[in-house]
Amino acid sequence: MRSFAHGCGLLLSLFIYTSIAHSQLIEWNDTIPSSLTVFQQDPQQLASLALDNIVIFAQPSTQITLPTKKDHPKQNVQFVSAAVVLPVSTQDLTKVLTDYSHYVGLFPTIKSAKVEEASANVSRVKYKVQIPTPIPVLNFNENVTMQHQLGKNSLASLMIDSPVPYSMGKFEWFSLGPQKTLLTLTQWSDLNQIKGFVLGKILSTIPDVKLGAPVASNVFILESLQQKWKKPQIKVLNIHQLPSPQLSPAQVQKISQISRNTGYPVSFIQPICSVPYPHGTEPMRFTTSYQYYPQTPQQLQKWLHPDSFQTLFPRQIKKVELSSMSTHVEDASFRVTVGLGIINIPFNFKMRFEQPDVGQSDFTATGGDLRFVKGSMQTLAQPSGSLFKMTSAAKIDAKAPFLLRAMRSLPYHDILPAASGNTIFSLKIKEKMK
């Protein structure tokens, strides 16, 4: 259902981890916060939370200095972190992350990598990034440059030239034992200053994309690395069953604390699930997100109903038609238009919403342009305030209309829509609840 809010973010996310070619290396002191800042510098605590998932969370706002920005180089920003546990030694992982020429083949869309200058632990690398789509006006073909700085157990990167010119990020890795490493990525990008025409048009017409782009970018990178070392593990679901992270009460409290302190959801991108459908099964990737709100569960209940969605996305949702099937079951038909400034894309979504209780709403696609959408929303009471839990998966199938089907040519089109969409939905509710 949320695909209309972030489909373009999938394109944008492929650029954020990329970087005016200078004749010399830039002097830069890494001020990027450690991913472990909100975990008391304890890698095991974060690893126990991640388990087999990619976990996404934000850092408290911090001040940074941008050496590439002449005017107002100091500014307060918020970084977003991601973490995954990999079955590889820290030594082997370090070799891969510092072998920039082999980013070709490791990260989809990177077609070439050339080290232009290197001194000690600092390198400036120029990458060729290509993102072909069946819609020529949406194709990307850019040269981007970034400066990498290798630390003791980190690799910090400063973006030097890209469609997103002001950006920085940092890998960190922590040994959890033989052939077991916690890998984290912490990034920030200024999405209010864009150089590229296409990206500028997308962000000006769908500013909500900015909310989900940090998540999509982090997931894109860590999923690429996860696929290098992890064998796919498929969980078979029963009818009406949805996957959920296995969290202890202490971990739920920790998630609530992080989201409360940062104002950002904590999300889990889960392994592949086999979902039963009348025609057979479909592999799908679910994302579960937890967002803290100071309001009570009762005050959040209206956001469980489809008639509230148009207030969250008035520029995209043009019409909502509702029909009650029973006391607790409602069908909704959404007419959606996504205007990219370059091309307008109309969609029709048909969804069924079932409420097993007043604090939960389960949804599934029943027709329209997206056949494979499933998920659930819940309000969970906390000692103070509430957690809004959202689980969703969205998959574009081969029978979708052409403009939607074109998105299948992009990497991880089965993961990024739900991952970024959950965040967009949660943060739009936050805006409305102020």
DSSP 174-217: EEEETTEEEEEEEEEE-TTS---HHHHHHHHH-TTHHHHHHHHH
What pLDDT shows up at residue 341? Answer: 62
CA dihedral 182, 99, 57, 312 (to 10 degrees): -150
Does pLDDT of 254 surpass 50?
Answer: yes
**Chain-centroid distance, C-alpha 1:** 16
Question: 152: which 2 tokens?
Answer: 């003791």
Average pLDDT (160-169) is 92
**Chain-centroid distance, C-alpha 335:** 25
Contact yes or no for 169/17 (Cβ under 8 A): yes
pLDDT digits (tens, 9 = 90+) for 362-399: 999 998 888 999 999 999 999 999 999 999 999 988 88
What pLDDT shows up at residue 10? Answer: 46
Distance (Å, whole) CA 185 – CA 97: 12
Average pLDDT (8-26) is 51
Q: Is the pTM of this model over 0.85?
A: yes
Contact yes or no for 151/30 (Cβ under 8 A): yes
Contact yes or no for 386/300 (Cβ under 8 A): yes
Average pLDDT (176-196) is 94
| Angle ∠(390,52,374) on CA atoms, nearest 5 | 30
Number of H helices, E strands in the chain: 10, 19
List, in order, residues 6 or more apart from 395 with CB less than 8 Å away. 282, 284, 370, 372, 373, 414
Distance (Å, whole) CA 145 – CA 100: 12
Average pLDDT (71-81) is 90
> Longest C-alpha distance within the chain, in Å?
69
Nearest to 411 by CA among 186, 219, 267, 243: 219
Choices 2.70.150.10, 3.30.530.20, 3.40.718.10, 3.40.50.720: CATH for 235-433: 3.30.530.20
- Of the pLDDT bands very low, low, confident and very high (cuts 50, 70, 90), residue 101 is very high
Average pLDDT (40-49) is 98
Does pLDDT of 354 surpass 70?
Answer: yes
Judge whether 3-229 and 235-433 match in fold: yes
Question: 322: which 2 tokens?
Answer: 């509702």
Choices 2.40.30.20, 1.10.4080.10, 3.30.530.20, 3.90.190.10: CATH for 3-229: 3.30.530.20
Count of residues for the chain?
434
- Report residue 113: phi and psi, to 5°: -145, 125
Question: 97: which 2 tokens?
Answer: 């992350």
List, in order, residues 6 or more apart from 433 with CB less than 8 Å away. 293, 295, 299, 300
Contact yes or no for 391/288 (Cβ under 8 A): yes
**Chain-centroid distance, C-alpha 113:** 25
Considering only residues 66 and 182, tell me which one the structure prediction assigns the higher pLDDT: 182
Nearest to 1 by CA among 261, 361, 379: 361
Question: 163: which 2 tokens?
Answer: 């469609």
b vs e for 16-51, b when ≥16 Cβ sit within 10 Å of the residue's Cβ?
bbbbeeeeebeebeeebbbbbebbeeebeebbbbbe
Distance (Å, whole) CA 215 – CA 135: 25
Does pLDDT of 75 surpass 70?
Answer: yes
What pLDDT shows up at residue 342? Answer: 62
Domain ranges in the chain are 3-229, 235-433
| Surface-to-core class of residue 338, CB atoms within 10 Å of its CB (0-12 exposed, 13-18 middle, 19+ buried) | buried
Average pLDDT (137-157) is 91
Considering only residues 265 and 67, tell me which one the structure prediction assigns the higher pLDDT: 265
